[in-house]
Amino acid sequence: MLRTNLPHIESQSEHSDLINNNENVMVCCGRMGPMCIPVYEIMEDLQSEYKNVKFADMDFDIPDAKVIRSLPECRTFQGLPFTIYYKNGKVVKATSSIQSLEDVTAILNEHFGK
């Protein structure tokens, strides 16, 4: 399990429940590595600001993370983390590798508003 202050997704069914029962969801799928930790920290900081978005993480190395690893939007990704933004259960944006606060907030504002 990842050591973050985010809700953890540990199975495909938890992933499905999260994206199907919440309008706006951001999931960061990665490891506790140098490219992933800054994204988790950004998400932790933004949770209180973006109350209309559910933030969660998922360990890239668990078998059930294939639900994210196998997304068509992730096929060309080569760096961790894979960050997926869902609206009404559908992928609206997917990014890989490190992101800045400005990158994340631009995506959140574009797809989910504030």
Residue-wise pLDDT for 26-72, tens only, equals 999 999 999 999 999 999 999 999 999 999 999 999 999 999 999 99
Residue 63 lies in a domain: yes
Domains in the chain, number: 1
Residue 68 lies in a domain: yes
Domain range spanning residue 20? 8-112
Beta bridge partners of 95: 83
Contacts of 26 (CB under 8 A, 6+ apart): 43, 53, 54, 55, 56, 83, 84, 85, 86, 104, 108
User: Any bridge partners for residue 87, and if so which?
Assistant: 24, 90
CATH value at residue 104: 3.40.30.10
Instruction: State the Cα–Cα distance between residues 24 and 64, nearest whole angstrom.
Output: 21
Q: Which residues pair with 29 in a beta bridge?
A: 58, 82
The yes-or-no verdict on residue 73 having pLDDT over 80 is yes
Mean pLDDT value across residues 73-81 = 96
In a domain? residue 76: yes
Confidence of residue 101 (pLDDT cuts 50, 70, 90): very high
51 in any annotated domain? yes
Token digits of residue 105: 């907030």
Q: What is the pTM of this model?
A: 0.97
pLDDT higher than threshold 80 for residue 114: no
**Mean pLDDT rounded to a whole number for the chain:** 97
Residue 1 lies in a domain: no
pLDDT at 1: 78
pLDDT value, residue 75: 94
